[in-house]
Amino acid sequence: MSDIRLRFAPSPTGYLHIGGARTALFNWLYARHHGGTFILRIEDTDTARSTQESINAILNSLTWLGLNWDEQIYYQSQRRNLHNEHIEKLLAADQAYYCYCSPHELDQMRKSAMSKGQKPKYDGRCRRLNNKQAKPAVVRFKTPLSGQTVVNDLIKGRVCFDNSELDDLIIRRSDGTPTYNLAVVIDDATLNISHIIRGDDHLNNTPRQILLYQALGYKPPCFGHVPLILGTDKSRLSKRHGATSVGAYKDAGYLPQ
């Protein structure tokens, strides 16, 4: 086996969409072509919407398509201690902070910024607090206030993001659960994922994730963002365009090939 490791990481909040199947196929093919490893990770941190029924549907669809994985199935929800260890490292290094702003304050912040023609993002007011308070709080990552983060995309080429446009993203919710952007970075880094091929809709997450890799001392993987599958009206494929799930094609008599 080579050092090339790719993953498919679906969220079990529904069936396997045909777009997700295509993303899985690209990752599987790249791993197989280079003699690498293809990993399946279930991103089930959304406890309110994730279901065992959806997990079963995803596994059945991937198996039917012949997209076999090489290691045990990883479940993001079982890695929470690892996620929290990394959050504590960021807090200790002053690269993250507790934010006590209420939903009302955040809403007022957004409205105020929009009224001035500014981007509606968090203004960083809790960055200046040095004491931990005895009330519910989220943890935010300290995004650099200046400079650029560059994504050398395998498909799109060089894409630059101004750090001033990125807000201090929440990495742990007030209920203690890690957010997607934090968990995905920790999981990809600790599973030694070398290449990430995913949809265009994740491109805006990439600079935030690269900054997290750097803050934690990990080398970012190679990223490639593929165009989304569109319907005949050029909008993102959805149920209104017809069948979108792999299971529906199977039921209609299509062969996996």
pLDDT value of position 73: 97
The sign of the torsion formed by the CA atoms of 47, 48, 53, 57 equals negative
pLDDT in tens, the chain (257 residues): 579 999 999 999 889 999 999 999 999 999 999 999 999 999 987 777 888 999 999 999 999 999 999 999 999 999 999 999 999 999 999 999 999 998 889 989 888 888 888 888 898 899 988 777 778 899 999 999 999 999 999 999 999 999 999 999 999 999 999 999 999 999 999 999 999 999 999 999 999 999 999 999 999 999 999 998 888 888 887 767 766 899 999 999 999 99
* Dist CA 14 CA 6 (whole Å): 23
Tokens 């659960």 belong to: 177
pLDDT value of position 100: 94
Distances, alpha carbon 187 to alpha carbons 9, 27, 40, 85, 168, in Å = 10, 17, 12, 12, 21
pLDDT value of position 1: 56
Distances, alpha carbon 90 to alpha carbons 137, 141, 180, 188, in Å = 16, 8, 16, 17
Cβ distance 171 to 137 under 8 Å?
no
132 is catalytic: no
Phi/psi of residue 208, each to 5°?
-60, -40
pLDDT value of position 113: 82
Reduce the DSSP state of residue 170 to 3 states and report it. Answer: strand
* Dist CA 167 CA 121 (whole Å): 6
Candidates 219, 230, 80; CA nearest to 152 is 219
pLDDT value of position 22: 95
pLDDT value of position 243: 65
pLDDT value of position 225: 97
Query: Which one from 89, 156, 239, 250 is the annotated catalytic residue?
Result: 239
pLDDT value of position 185: 98
